């Protein structure tokens, strides 16, 4: 199995899945989404019998810095924001509903779609330099890959509202205190901890593990909030503010939003 933007290695029955676009801080472009979709729907079968997946970002700066903003001007042009959001949600549901544990080793920025990706994983282990946020509001849009729904599940309404409305980032210690990550540790220890968790879970009955994942997810019920998020993402992606926000990021300047 070979991908352009994903590295897949199997060692001691652990799949090491690395998003490999370090020069773009591992931003999730169209191709990376399709590769993730392929891996979590069928590609994983080529990895044999494994305990679980350790998902991380290449390099030492970022887990994933979000959706690829450089593709956003096309989205503004084509008016397909709602489809883009639905596609991202579908891929993240594949991860959240995967029958083996997927642990995010969050080794730097986990912003926007990167924070949403980490939240779709079953467990999160952060390195001390990790940071988390939903900065979409800085681009004139909202989180579109489940962030408005899952962040609530981890950290509650008050802090979710604050992070999504301000676009502010929080550090790994605070993410741990709030319950967004399971552990925050120095880099080497974080990797070891993630592997230890996979080994422990791998020693349990695979059917029980798969059913546990399914039932813990079931507690959170239906998908209406996710559908509403996609529709609202589509609306915000049709605004002039979105075009302005994406252009400002690309041109490395402050956006001038006008509310239309
Ligand atoms: N998309 C595309 N390229 C990105 C990117 C992204 N999300 N994040 C970073 N990059 C690129 C930068 O453009 C830059 O490329 P160039 O060298 O070609 O200029 C390179 O990665 C390094 O980034 P910076 O120079 O910006 O590095 P920095 O250290 O100054 O800042 C950062 C790091 C704070 C993470 C900053 O890059 C940043 O704010 N990135 C965007 C984060 C963001 O807004 N994410 C949300 C995206 S929207 C989303 O995800 C939508 C959704 O829910 C559906």
Q: ipTM surpassing 0.95, yes or no?
A: yes
Instruction: Please state, rounded to an integer, the average pLDDT across all residues of the chain.
Output: 97
Rounded Cα distance between 135 and 112, Å, is 6
Please indicate whether residue 11 is annotated as part of the active site. no
Q: Decide whether any atom of ligand 1 lies within 6 Å of the 102 Cβ.
A: no
Average pLDDT rounded to a whole number, residues 151-160: 98
Average pLDDT rounded to a whole number, residues 63-88: 96
Domain ranges of the chain: 6-186
Average pLDDT rounded to a whole number, residues 125-153: 98
Band of residue 2 on the pLDDT scale cut at 50, 70, 90: confident
Please indicate whether residue 116 is annotated as part of the active site. yes
- pTM of the full predicted structure? 0.98
Rounded Cα distance between 68 and 75, Å, is 11
Residue 253, pLDDT > 80, answer yes
Residue 1, pLDDT > 80, answer no
Please tell me which residue in 35, 82, 96, 136 is annotated as part of the active site.
136
> What single DSSP character describes residue 133?
E
CB atoms inside a 10 Å sphere around CB 7: 13
- Note the CATH number of domain 6-186: 3.90.226.10
């Amino acid at each position: 199995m070979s991908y352009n933007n994903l590295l897949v290695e199997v060692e001691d029955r652990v799949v090491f899945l690395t998003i490999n676009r370090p020069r773009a801080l591992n931003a999730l472009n169209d191709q990376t989404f399709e590769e993730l979709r392929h891996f979590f729907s069928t590609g994983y079968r080529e990895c044999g019998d494994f305990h679980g997946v350790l998902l991380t970002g290449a390099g030492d700066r970022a887990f994933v810095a979000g959706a690829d903003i450089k593709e956003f001007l096309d989205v503004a042009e084509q008016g397909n924001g709602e489809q883009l959001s639905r596609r991202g949600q579908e891929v993240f549901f594949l991860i959240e509903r995967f029958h083996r544990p997927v642990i995010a080793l969050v080794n730097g920025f986990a912003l926007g779609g990167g924070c949403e990706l980490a939240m779709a994983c079953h467990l999160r282990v952060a390195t001390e330099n990790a940071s988390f946020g939903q900065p979409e509001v800085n681009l004139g849009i909202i989180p579109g890959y489940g962030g408005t729904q899952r962040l609530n599940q981890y950290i509650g309404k008050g802090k979710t509202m604050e992070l999504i409305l301000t676009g502010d980032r929080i550090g790994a210690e605070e993410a741990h205190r709030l319950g967004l990550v399971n552990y925050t540790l120095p880099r080497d220890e974080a990797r070891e901890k993630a592997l230890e968790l996979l080994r422990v879970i791998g020693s349990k009955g695979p059917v029980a593990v798969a059913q546990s994942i399914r039932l813990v997810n079931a507690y959170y019920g239906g998908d209406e909030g996710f559908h509403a998020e996609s529709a609202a993402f589509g609306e915000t992606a049709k605004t002039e503010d979105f075009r302005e926000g994406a252009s400002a990021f690309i041109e490395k300047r402050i956006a001038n939003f006008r509310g239309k």
